[in-house]
Structure 1
Amino acid sequence: MALIVQKFGGTSVGTVERIQAVAEKIQTFRKQGHDIVVVVSAMSGETNRLVSMASEMQKHPKAEELDVLLSTGEQVTIALLSMALENLGCPARSYTGWQIAIRTDSYHNKARIQEIDTGSVRADLDAGRVVVVAGFQGVSESGRITTLGRGGSDTTAVALAAALDAQECQIYTDVDGVYTTDPRVVEGARRLDKITFEEMLEMASLGSKVLQIRSVEFAGKYNVTLRVLHSFQDGPGTLITLEEQSEMEQPVVSGIAFNRDEAKLTIKGVPDIPGVASRILGPVGRANIEVDMIVQNVAADQTTDFTFTVHRNDYQRALEVVAQTCKDLGAREYDGDNKIAKVSIVGVGMRSHAGVATQMFEALAAEGINIQIISTSEIKVSVVIQEKYLELAVRALHSTFELNQGTSVEQE
């Protein structure tokens, strides 16, 4: 029938009972005639437990040894799942990342996949076995175990699907698909039948936790069809695929994304001279602080106000850097605010529709919500607002763009 790569996250394999349930799901696909490669994460909570143990042993564990430790979490899961499959009469074989091998660079804790040797996997599939692979890990050129960092198991699954030319990569999680927005915020949020790589990438980068950005980027680059499904509920899930030309005139906005983890910093009265932006953001970058949105306004007195946002966890460090920069530049003053949030509308249909941003701004104004920063791209409009208005803003925009009305975003 088809070759399918399936990935099950930590909550999906969090107990022996859940691993057995996953095995039964895999067996169902096998009975339909599909070849199956399964990628699994460590059991939920296991990676955190291992990190905690490492911290007790050494204040700053060596990255190389930390990878050796963390990789054991997935090794437990692949063995247990292979046993569960064998108990169901389904031949299975487990592989760690280095056994395949999934070759990576040598950046421990955040390695990137360079190539995958699929010979042994294909041989097992030809022999009628289910192949169970440890996600999140690989092996460097020097033969050392590496881990892929946050979202690493998703990335492993997508990379294997690309290398094996699989028909589909199915990501099983604790939600039944990608929604127009967080159902916990908007009761009428809808599951999307289909979404493009571009839209999913924007939503992931803007705060949607369904898929990690890196795996979506990988899937888009290699045109790997993704599907997000619920681990223990039947349903079609959400298909993530390339945009077709016929879909261009379809829904203007596909979803509302938001992020509470934002903080804003402003330097006021900065001399308006060439290179001032780099003199402000250079020290921030050297402090290993990532900048998100940037706004610069030039005043009549030839000074400029420079505002940018960072992750809230970096706020205090960024404030210290800005204080010194303000002094070095002879700026008038600086301030910060860590009680802000970012709300974004996302949709490929925005390319062919005018006035979408205006609709967004009018909807927020009608609720008395002031916009502090605006950022746009071809398929996204993001605004920074006060955090206390976040849920009100999301509900208002969801209603304005009628995301709880009619059929889902799948085009027919």
Structure 2
Amino acid sequence: MRVVAKFGGTSLGSGDRIERAADSIAAAVEDGHEIAVVASAMGSTTDDLLEEITFDADEADRAQIVSMGERTSVRMLKAALSARDVDATFLEPGHPDWPVVTDEYGEVDVAETRRRAREVAESLDAVVPVVTGFLAEGPDGSVTTLGRGGSDTTAVMLGKYMDADEVVIVTDVEGVMTGDPRVVEGARNVGEISVDELRNLSFRGAEVVAPSALSYKDGGLGVRVVHYQHGDLLSGGTSVEGEFENLVDMRERPLACLTVAGRAIRNRPGVFQSLSAALGESDINIDAVASGMDSVTFYVDEDEAERAENILHREVIAAEELSSVTVDSPLAVIRVTGGELPNQPGVISEIVEPVTEARINLHDIITSATSVALFVDWDDREETLELTQDLF
């Protein structure tokens, strides 16, 4: 089995933890597995180094300075592996075998990085490469970085280009949890989660796997998150399933748009909950929700529009903060889903511009971490779908 194991800063935060990491790597090698290692800077080294740059440093100098954290980690981990009679070598920018390179725009040079990663993979049966995470090498040989969470990106990228069976993210949490164990009681490990679910959570604050890393995951590559105390790289934790695909999809049945207006509706606790609960208790599925300063809009199946209007009207009558409910139908929704959407500056305007140029009225646009939903008149659905598909 070929595995890329990424050790986060907390899992390398002390000599004891480096020893633990080396033990888990050595055990996997002894069992006959091919292991490549990606290492983050020890503990909070990168943040500490950034805080000490109180002077006006250019990007090249800043990259060289912050790279020292990862450079130290790979040397420590390589030495710990050598002490266990594991043949290991560390790779950093400037090394002849260094794999991760960027182009003149600072983007990953996919073709060259894939070629170099495959060359590194060819020697995995004889040596364990310990690669600095977060760092890349520019076309001129300069040190560049992959941004926040870059070590995760390094690991999943190399896993993909090395044709690995699995990428194991070793961190200080027991996989993906049902909630933050520091805040909620009874939080437990989620044994399996889809890549779509995890990336949405990651963009909304869950610090498990960097969302930029998950863009590199394909269906044939396993990704797992384990706690550094687990000690076994090949079991446990949370498995991340599936892959991102750019997808343009149109809902087959028309929707109705029900808008409830009211004074300072967002500032009164419980208003949204009471409205959505009233619909849910009557088995009316809510396809999407949008909110404004003084309104909340629910999109439901058009067949349920009349019943939903009556339900919401009762809520309006019962609450003095609410003033009215209106209905607009039939509407269509075209959704664009893709793992790369959040990483594309201007992507919303690129999706919307052809639609507006065709003089199609957009009733609403709802975005999430990995999708954009366009709401248009039912009669405009086919043209909107065609325009959007042309983009992808």
Task: Tell me the TM-score range normalised by the shorter chain.
Answer: 0.5 to 0.7
Q: Which is higher, the Rg of structure 1 or of structure 2?
A: 2
Distance in 1 (CA, whole Å) between partners of 2:49 and 2:195 is 34
Counterpart of 2:39, as a letter, is V
Shift in Å, 1:205 = 1.2
Alignment-derived partner of residue 61 in structure 1: 57
1:146 alignment partner in structure 2 = 144
Separation in 2, partners of 1:354, 1:195: 27
Does 1:158 pair with 2:156?
Answer: yes
Match of 1:185?
Answer: 183
- The runs of 5 or more residues in structure 1 that have no matched partner are 244-296, 300-304, 306-335, 338-342, 344-352, 381-412
Q: Are the aligned partners of 2:100 and 2:108 in contact in 1 as well (CA < 8 Å)?
A: no
Query: What secondary structure is seen at the aligned counterpart in 2 of 1:4?
Result: strand
Distance in structure 2 (CA, Å) of the matches to 1:180 and 1:356:
24
Instruction: Give the C-alpha shift of residue 379 in structure 1.
Output: 9.8
Q: Distance in 2 between matches of 1:141 and 1:229?
A: 35
Once residues 168 and 178 of structure 1 are traced to their aligned partners in structure 2, the CA distance between those partners, rounded to angstroms, is 17
Distance 2:13 2:370 in 1: 37
2:49 is aligned to: 50
1:383-398 residue pairs with structure 2 within 5 A? none
Q: What amino acid sits opposite 1:355 in the alignment?
A: N
Is the Cα–Cα contact under 8 Å of residues 4 and 164 in structure 2 kept in the other structure? yes
Specify whether residues 16 and 206 from structure 1 end up closer, same or farther in structure 2 by C-alpha distance, changes over 3 A only. same
1:77 corresponds to 2:7: no
Pairwise CA distance, 1:203: 1.1
How far off is 1:133 after superposition?
0.5
Residue pair 1:106, 1:141 contacting (<8 A) in 2 also: yes
User: Would the alpha carbon gap of residues 107 and 192 (structure 1) be closer, same or farther in structure 2, given more than 3 Å must change?
Assistant: same
Structure 1 residue identity aligned to 2:7? F
The equivalent of 1:35 in structure 2 is: 34
Maintained 8 Å contact 1:154/1:212: yes
1:357, distance to aligned residue in structure 2 (A): 7.0
Distance 1:150 1:173 in 2: 16
Contact map agreement 1:39 1:135 (CA 8 A) in 2: yes
Deviation, structure 1 residue 189: 2.7
Could you tell me which residue of structure 1 aligns to residue 327 of structure 2? Answer: none
CA displacement at 1:119 relative to structure 2: 5.1
Aligned residues with identical type, % of pairs: 35
SS in 2 for 1:38: strand
1:22 aligns with 2:9: no
Whether 1:241 and 2:238 are equivalent positions in the alignment is no
Post-superposition shift, 1:75? 0.9
Output the CA distance in 2 between the equivalents of 1:163 and 1:242: 17
Q: Partner residue of 1:225? A: 222
How far 1:123 sits from its partner (Å)?
Answer: 4.2
What is the alpha-carbon distance in structure 2 between the residues aligned to residue 119 and residue 93 of structure 1? Answer: 16
Q: 2:124 — aligned with what? A: 125
The answer as to whether partners of 1:223 and 1:241 remain within 8 angstroms in 2 is: no
CA distance in structure 2 between the partners assigned to 1:130 and 1:8 by the alignment: 14
Match of 1:6 in 2: 5
* Residue identity matched to 2:139: E
CA contact (8 A) 2:200 2:369 kept: no
- The aligned counterpart of 2:199 is 201
Mapped to 2, the partners of 1:379 and 1:64 lie a distance apart of 32
Q: Is 2:104 the partner of 1:174?
A: no
| Distance (Å, rounded) in 2 between the aligned partners of 1:204 and 1:105 | 27
* 1:249 corresponding residue in structure 2: none
Unaligned ranges ≥5, structure 2: 244-258, 268-272, 274-282, 289-297, 299-310, 322-364, 372-392
Q: Distance in 2 between matches of 1:378 and 1:53?
A: 33
Distance in 1, Cα, partners of 2:37 & 2:12: 12
Q: Is the Cα–Cα contact under 8 Å of residues 223 and 241 in structure 2 kept in the other structure?
A: yes
3-state SS, counterpart of residue 77 of structure 2: helix
Instruction: Report if the CA contact (8 A) 2:102-2:109 is conserved.
Output: yes
Alignment of 1:355 with 2:285, yes or no, is: yes
Distance 1:219 1:113, change over 3 A: farther
Shift of 1:36: 0.3
Normalised by the size of structure 1, how large is the TM-score?
0.57
In 2, are the aligned partners of 1:174 and 1:231 still within 8 Å (CA)?
A: yes
Which SS does the other structure have where 2:180 is aligned? coil
| CA-CA distance at 1:104 after TM superposition | 1.0
* Superimposed CA distance per residue, residues 41-97 of structure 1 (whole angstroms, 9 cap, x where no aligned partner): 011121122213322xx2x32011111111121111111111100101111111014
Aligned length: 264
**In the alignment, what sits opposite 1:135?**
133
**1:209 Cα offset (Å):** 1.1
Shift of 1:229: 0.4
What's 1:313 paired with? none
How far did 1:354 drift?
A: 6.7
Q: Is the 8 A contact 2:165 2:220 kept in 1?
A: no
- Paired residue secondary structure (2:236): coil
The correspondence of residues 205-354 of structure 1 with structure 2, limited to 5 A, is 205-220=203-218, 224-233=221-230, 236-242=236-242
Alpha carbons of 1:191 and 1:66: their partners in 2 closer, same or farther (altered >3 Å)?
same
Partner of 1:269: none
How much is the aligned-residue C-alpha RMSD, in angstroms? 3.8
